[in-house]
Structure 1
């Protein structure tokens, strides 16, 4: 699928890690071989399949996980993090898996009053839960999910048995992860949202409704849980949407801050490091006057929406700012295509954008023109690259 896919979730029965992976594999069965190969790398005896099932007359897939004799995987946050980093097939999957795990770890740390490094997982340290986190990250990355929305999550109710004894439903860490998400009490008790399912939702940061504007549904899938409930299918439905042709719409994170006490040389290095991140789309630096007439730099950074918190932490690490302003914005993009062309034996990258009222504009990449000679030589090469047939 193209990148910048919008994911919409309908958690009729709820959401768990295995339900999410099953729904995504139902929507994109072509991913199953890669998912199976990745699951097999987790450890000897670990395997998965997406099995066709029915629940209350609704078809879907259930994630069947084959486990080794020892179900218990790593239990400490650092061990879990290192394993996911080792197994992830590429940086994009690694970042998503790490973000899901971090959100889960921070919720557990808040519940137990410990630091993230001290978190000791219980319910999510089985090999199947490790597979859920890793495969959820794989599906999201391969399908190019850049924004998400959800209908209301079922609240559930009652109690659940844990290694700490009985806990209310939703479990304490789950409830923390559900903050800011729409919920509904449909009167059906039980654990409807698991900690891993809630961590995936927190990673997605879904809006409460589909984006405005014309969109096209590209794929849909149903994931079925293990439990059977009275009167409702234990089903999670996902839809993968694409913005309609002429204009692409998505959400981005915008982070702005001021710096007045960092040397220009060091700030330049810090901003270069931020620009080099794959989840940062652009960095703008403007001169300004601040308190007491001091010269300062006003920084505005645009990043992928799902990575906003991670990028914010990087801003604190790379600069001396003590405060950030974060906001979400919707952007509109013209369709564009990158294509290299050959001019005088030299490869020049070009980008062509389609205009809303018809026509197109092609621009050559300046980095590829830089060694062409003087200004006149660069302009000549640019004209030929931009009019190349």
Structure 2
């Protein structure tokens, strides 16, 4: 599964993302990309890619040069959309670019308590910001990843000057965009994540998590402008994540990378940047402890407490412990952010004095529920799907209740419900 993992340990900005993505292209593609970008807007603006060194690490610095000064530095939201629509790029790339500016516009309108149509962009409305957004959209269209993941985002600390004055880091619009995204501050004084970088991440990244197991084939480095004690660069790892077999092309259509930049040729049947229906990895925690001095009733109560608190799953496994004693391995699965809650419950409701914590990656199928009509009444069917897989089964409680009410066997109701579901499909 072709995967891009974005390392945001030094934040994210539009030019840094574009530089890292540019490095993942083949040399011929790089030339075509620059040629395309330099003919997009006008002859008064150019994009160059140059080698840049930060703390001994070399990467690509993307520079946009504007030769005619734009006297009007306030660009409205409708003007930005019209400008994107006028570009000779595919409608697919246009829609992504406009969606990114909509994220920024919604954030600005929320911060300034006004309608998005009344928003006038300052820094993010300049031509170089438009080039960053459009350039990243084109590059991702060329690279055609099946999924995009990213680390939690380092936003920096201190203050940042902008058109409205001196603002705290992260800037209010950046903080608004990054709602729902794991972020953190640090000792570096400065703005590490810009509104443009935040919007690009929010739009394209399927999940934010520590780097999962993947076979890296190439790494791109996009360099920032400022110098910090830590190398100011954004890394993107390109590789494969074949933790489970990838379905066939019929089940899992995907974009093949193109050898040239043909962004003006559009196709309504062309799929999106990453495959619809192929789910990202989900990271959870496995909390476990050994027990050999609790009664079955006490263990059962502890399990109920964990389930009532929202554990993803709780189960026991027979184990043979020290001093030849039989015992139980109690395991609780929970989401990452709930570790402290369930660790406390395990320590409080069991006799253990220590808990082992293991991060786990998982893939899950989507679950939905449907009602089918049978001679024994309506029965709920649980449907699981994803990765080209589709399976279903009747819900136990409905089947058991119907069997008792109609004086028939469990299997008779079960089979009737499965047959009814198949006929409906």
TM-score clears 0.5? yes
Give the one of 242, 246, 249 matched to 1:248.
Answer: 246
Conserved? CA contact 1:169–1:191, under 8 Å = yes
Q: Secondary structure at the match of 1:43?
A: coil
SS of the residue aligned with 2:124? coil
Q: Are 1:124 and 1:196, in contact at CA under 8 Å, matched by a contact in 2?
A: yes
Tell me, yes or no, if structure 1 residue 332 matches structure 2 residue 332. no
Cα deviation for residue 159 of structure 1 reads 1.6
Question: Could you tell me which residue of structure 2 aligns to residue 125 of structure 1?
Answer: 125
User: Residue 284 of structure 2 corresponds to which residue in structure 1?
Assistant: none
SS state at 2:208 partner: coil
Structure 1 match to 2:20: 23
Q: What do the CA deviations read for 1:292-336 (whole angstroms, capped 9, x no partner)?
A: xxxxxxxx9xxxxxxxxxxxxxxxxxxxxxxxxxxxx994359xx
How does 1:1-389 map onto structure 2 within 5 Å?
Answer: 5-30=2-27, 31-36=29-34, 37-71=36-70, 75-209=75-209, 215-229=214-228, 231-244=229-242, 247-248=245-246, 331-332=386-387
Distance in 1 (alpha carbons) for counterparts of 2:214 and 2:143? 16
Contact 2:224 2:233 in 1 (8 A): yes
Question: Quick check: 1:12–1:234 contact (8 Å CA) kept in 2?
Answer: no
Moved more, 108-117 or 239-248: 239-248
Instruction: Provide the rounded CA distance (Å) in 2 between the counterparts of 1:236 and 1:54.
Output: 13
Q: 2: CA distance between counterparts of 1:92 and 1:205?
A: 17
Q: Distance in 1 between matches of 2:194 and 2:182?
A: 16
User: Are the structure 2 counterparts of residues 24 and 49 from structure 1 closer, same or farther at C-alpha, using a change threshold of 3 Å?
Assistant: same
Cα displacement (A) at 1:39: 3.6
Structure 1 length-normalised TM: 0.61
- Report the CA distance shift for 1:89/1:97 in structure 2 as closer, same or farther (over 3 A): same
Please, which moves more after superposition, 31-40 or 219-228? Answer: 31-40
CA deviation map 1:344-385 (0-9, x unaligned): xxxxxxxxxxxxxxxxxxxxxxxxxxxxxxxxxxxxxxxxxx
Larger-gyration structure (1/2): 2
Moved more, 125-134 or 68-77: 68-77
The aligned length equals: 267
Q: Cα–Cα, structure 1 residues 216 and 333, in superposed 2: closer, same or farther, change >3 Å?
A: farther
After TM superposition, the score normalised by the length of structure 2 is: 0.56
Indicate how the Cα distance of structure 1 residues 112 and 146 shifts in structure 2: closer, same or farther if over 3 A, else same.
farther
Q: 3-state SS of the aligned residue for 2:64?
A: strand
The DSSP-based 3-state class of the residue aligned with 1:176 is: helix
Question: 1:152 & 1:210 partners in 2: Cα distance?
Answer: 7
- 3-state DSSP of counterpart to 1:238: strand
Preserved contact between residue 159 and residue 169 of structure 1 (Cα < 8 Å): yes
- TM-superposed deviation, 1:43: 1.9
1:74, CA displacement in angstroms? 6.8
- Residue 247 of structure 1 deviates from its aligned partner by 1.8
Contact 1:17-1:132 at 8 Å conserved across structures: yes
Structure 2, unpaired ranges of 5+: 248-267, 278-368, 374-382, 390-425
- How far does residue 186 in structure 1 lie from its aligned partner after superposition? 2.3
1:243-279 deviations in Å (ceiling 9; x for gaps): 3397228xxxxxxxxxxxxxxxxxxxxxxxxx98955
Q: Distance in 1 between matches of 2:152 and 2:270?
A: 34
